[in-house]
Structure 1
Amino acid sequence: MEKSKLFWLLLSILYFASTANSAGTTRASPSAANFIKASCTATTYPALCVQSLSLYATSINQSPRQLIQTALSVSLDKAQATKTFVYKLTKFKALKPREKAAIKDCLEEIDDTVDRLVKSVKELKSVGSSKGQDYQWHISNVQTWISAALTDETTCVDGFAGKVLNGRIKNSIGTRFVHVERVTSNALALINKFGSKP
């Protein structure tokens, strides 16, 4: 039994040593970090923008296209996690009828949000080397879908208005949706900033 514990302890030490080592080798350059900070000043939530994108500084480097692609992907990841959370809430048996109705509506809204963000990510990837009017058409589609996604997110939170729905469910949904809304808003701001620059 003692040998087994020792084996797992050594394995854990080796794992943490290797991850710490790899984290050190993939550290972003100061110019990449500065590019992200400077770009995030155009957003409504610059601190959140820097925090959510700095993890990907190495792949973003100083590429505006990679920056907006990453911002969109972050938004999509958060939206998908929120959709999973809301779906799990629909299975909760102790819900009040009005909570059930609000959660059901919310699930439809977040489903639409995810769908629009998926389309946006694909559209941006398909832009490729296109320029001029073709490029602007793709960017315009992305801007339209993200704006619609923001409306969906706000509509969900609005569905929990009123004192009757106050409580843990409302707070937990509100917190998650506010976060999704903010990263989505930041992604839109970055696309608006760099959208005219293919």
Structure 2
Amino acid sequence: MESVNFIRGYGKVNPSEDQTFQFQTPQKPIPKNKSNITTIISITIFLLVIIGAIIGVIIHSSNPSKNQETGQTQNPSASLVTKKSCEMLKIVCNVTQHQDLCFNSIYPIYELLNNPKPTPILFYNISLQVAITQIKNLSSLPESLMKQTNDPGTKSALTDCISLFDDSLTQFNNSFTQMNLSPGESKTLTEMKISNMQTWMSAALTDQETCLDGLREMSSRIVEDVEVRVHDTEMYMGISLAILNNLSWLVEKLGFVMN
């Protein structure tokens, strides 16, 4: 809570120390009625400021819990929903190797959806969207690097990376499509569907590593630049796969059904 600072004036002339100043500028006496009105107005304004400050302090202290992500104070019911969502997402992210990255990448998107009912399947779906965005960003890297080298071997390996990243994106898009079927199609998340998505996502991760293997074989000097970007992207992909691998357990643990 911010403290209220009372600022003391300084540098004012002290009449007891400067008698000359006191008698050099004689003032006409202020009419009593006018002086009283001025005093009343000053006191009223001062009291209003103090009352406003007190009210502000009371409001601030009675609402200590604020949404850290948005900076907005929430009503009790909204705060309860937010707390429940955070707790559930932490449980979901605990099955991944990158728990903080998992939470920090999923929760902002969840909030943009206006905080729908939290479920493990919803959080998995969001993780897919995050991973797909990362793969798309990575896909433009090989073409950019090809402009910076004249080495035929490196260019050939980068050409392969373009194809591999495109395939990686397709595999994750397939998984996203599996989770967002058209109206009329069965949305029940069966073991077969989970198995299909595990296959696609594992293949997508293999594509990333195959790209790096090709660059290493060419002893390319840019392999380190690509490695950093690929490994960053793989962390998001791995988060989705880890959640998927534990989805049945998460759904059961948190009291939901697979649909």
TM superposition score category, shorter chain reference? 0.7 to 0.9
Q: Is the 8 A contact 2:97 2:239 kept in 1?
A: yes
Cross-structure match for 2:128: 72
Residue number among 206, 217, 232 corresponding to 1:179 in the alignment: 232
* Paired position in structure 2 for 1:11: none
SS in 2 for 1:161: helix
Q: Distance in 1 between matches of 2:218 and 2:193?
A: 43
CA RMSD after TM alignment: 2.6
Aligned AA (1:83): S
4+ runs of 1 displaced by more than 3 Å? Answer: 22-28, 127-131
Greater helix share, 1 or 2?
1
Deviation at 1:37, TM superposition (A): 1.8
- Against the structure 1 CA distance between its residues 77 and 195, is the aligned structure 2 distance closer, same or farther, given a 3 Å change threshold? farther
Q: Which runs of 5+ in 1 are unaligned?
A: 1-21
CA distance change for structure 1 residues 26 and 175 in 2, over 3 Å: closer, same or farther? farther
Distance 2:196 2:73 in 1: 34
Which of these residues, 157, 164, 173, is aligned with residue 118 of structure 1?
173
The structure with the largest alpha-carbon Rg is: 2
Q: Give identity over the alignment, percent.
A: 25
2:245 is matched by which residue type in structure 1? N
Of residues 196, 204, 215, the one that matches 1:141 is 196
**Partner of 2:219: helix, strand, or coil?**
helix
Cα separation, 1, equivalents of 2:241 and 2:73? 28
What letter is aligned with 1:192? N
Unpaired segments ≥5 residues, structure 2: 1-68, 75-80, 252-257
Taking the aligned partners of 2:73 and 2:203, their CA distance within structure 1 comes to: 36
Higher relative contact order (CA 8 A, sep 6+): 1
- The aligned length equals 172
